[in-house]
Amino acid sequence: MINATDQVVADFLRLWHEAGRAYFQRFYPNLDYDSDAYAKVARQRRKYIALDRGRNGHGSGVFMVDRESGTVYPIKAYGVPNCKRPLGVLAEIVAGWDALPMRAKVWFHRP
């Protein structure tokens, strides 16, 4: 079972954050990408881990990770995973991040 504090979750959050850095700094040069408003955070739920963009109540949901299987899903609404469109297993996404095509990395950093 995966927890929000596991290293694989932290690695995914770091990779996801860095994937969006170039785009953000190009289009928003006067803002700080590393501020809490743009941070990526994991929030523990009973069945899922919510991977959100932003902290302190200013964030929005982006992904949900099934704690049993590690499968990553996009969301339909906050707290509701879109189980019809799994993105892959969290550990495999992290392990194969460098091999992902640029199109997939662009999807992960949509602002």
- Condensed to tens digits (0 to 9), the pLDDT of residues 61-97 reads 889 999 999 999 999 888 899 999 998 899 998 888 8
Torsion 25-29-34-36 (CA) sign: negative
Task: Convert the pLDDT of each residue in 3-62 to its tens digit.
Answer: 999 999 999 999 888 888 888 888 999 999 998 888 899 999 999 999 998 876 567 888
Taking 70 as the threshold, does the pLDDT of residue 109 lie above it? Answer: no
CA atoms within 13 A on the CB side of 22: 6
pLDDT for res 77: 86
Backbone phi and psi for residue 61, each to the nearest 5 degrees, phi listed first: -75, 145
